[in-house]
Structure 1
Amino acid sequence: MNRRALIAGVAATAAMPSLAAADGLGGIRIPASTCDSELRGLSPTGGKSYWASGSKGWLVRGKDERQDAMRIVGAEALDFRGLHAFSDSHVLAMSAGPGDASQLWRTRDGGKKWVQVTTNQDPDGFWDSIAFVDSRRGFILGDPTQSRFTVLYTADGGDTWNRLKPEGVPPADDGESAFAASNGCVAIGRHGQVAFCTGGAGKARVYLSRGGGGVFVALDTPIPADSRSKGAFACAFAKDGTLWVCGGDYKNPTAEGVNLARLAPGRITFEAVPAPAGYLSGLDVHGDTVMATGLAGTIVSRKGAPFQRVSPAPMNTVRLTGKTSGVLCGPKGTIGLWKA
């Protein structure tokens, strides 16, 4: 049943200086946090505005260094790991958790009022990520039930959801799952491609559909996944169709090993990409800029140059707003603002 909810908000405008910067790659400013939350959901809304979401029911509406933090009354125990902002006032927030701890909430007035849209009805289900193609078509990825990943689809802006035919998704390996670490394990391409990435079962895989999500094929990546904490955590399409994927081991954030790979357009084999060592949970691409982030810090490549570390600050998620700008979020309510 839908419930209306009030919110409590606080605001902050003080900012800390930029952290370490690589030559020509700028730096990351970190304003003072406004909430005690592990922020993982992130969605820019144009200009310098954005929404973030995370644990303990917290959401943040931001504009540059200013942050207005709020909690949905009745949802304080939820972990909002997924977020999609259609506009600065219209937002869907997705919580991740077992069974009915996976929920979807909506505001149409910038957070003054929230309504519960739907709740996961599968007691064995666990939602990991939400992504939209446009204002009406979107996907929710859930961990495997009945031996296959759950892919939910909406064609009405998120009001109703139906599971895609399970036979369109290859069987999951024992122990294989997606990681609800950054709302980044689902990627939408410009020409109808849909992809999601996994780990924890001996190999990190990307499930790719080139036709709008009806039928997926599973492709191996070179990212290690020989334990439940290892694998591919986020993926993103470039404008030219290149599919990027990042990952590592969240229990050992500074470990060596392949943490970044890409699939060139028309290819079926991922290639490892040299990058500074460390666990990466979030990834985004804008033009010829590729940025990845995680508990080991943030790395970036511009104009095809080698990846360099732009900041050591631990983060969970990144969303680029241009070739030289982006927003990040992470532990303890951290928001990061990147400018090259």
Structure 2
Amino acid sequence: MSAWVLLAIFAAAFQTLRFVLQKHLSMGALSVGGATFARFAYSMPFVLVMAAVYLGWMGAALPRLGPLFWVYALTGGLAQILATWCMVALFAARNFAVGITFKKTETVQTALIGFVLLGDRVSPWGMGAILIGLVGVVVLSGGAGTDRWRIFNRAAALGLVAGALFAVSAVGYRGATLEVGSSDALTRALVTLAAVTTSQALAMALWLRWREAGEIGRVIAARRTAVWIGLAGLGGSLCWFTAFTLQNAAYVFAVGQVEVIFSLIAARVFFGERITRREGVGVALVTASVLAVGFFR
């Protein structure tokens, strides 16, 4: 089994754990912004230490980082902040497993964004898989209000926007890792992750200081749980970033769809949630779609 496949599976597991913890904190302890900030603030110290230790162990200096690296890295970092914010807000609108499935439209959207920005082409079979995913999203988006089959609702919008933003971040991160002046995949991943996470933590701290006075203090007070969000986020990001150095982001996300299965287990174990039969059909269609995108690449 290819290394990038294993990395994508581990990344999905770490990411599911992070979303479980973020949902827990967003259900009273922290605001949406606070739960989002916790993910970056508690990752930053660990990733900076890891990057420094690894470079020291390799006997290597900090690789060259050109202007294009910062364009890719900062664009991807901003997109991830907004996507994470959307996800935390989505958890309050729909149950955990369905929220994750909305977010997993990122694989289909990554394929489309990759075509627009990088010229990656989708085969006719891949386009068929995309259409299956769109049907699944339509099925999932019903039932948020009195009209059970109303397509345009807050949950659908948050999920689809989160997926698009995660897709942009993935393409940006892959571009950034390829701009790092090193032939070592882990060096490229760690340096990119350190730069991105630091910029994200600083940006979120400034935002909360401006818009949500006192929320940073609540994030610090919630550190016993929030630190695990940071560690889970670090584990997931490191696996994603390393995989991005080895393979096209759309393919990496296609394998990462095992997160849907992990989220169903988490929803049952941690939140006692059940999904309806119709939502189960939607989950199955979206899952089949994103897996087919990877299979028919």
TM-score between the two structures when normalised by the length of structure 2:
0.25
Greater relative contact order (Cα 8 A, min sep 6): structure 1 or 2? 2
Relative to its length, the structure with more helix (as a share) is 2
TM-score between the two structures when normalised by the length of structure 1:
0.23
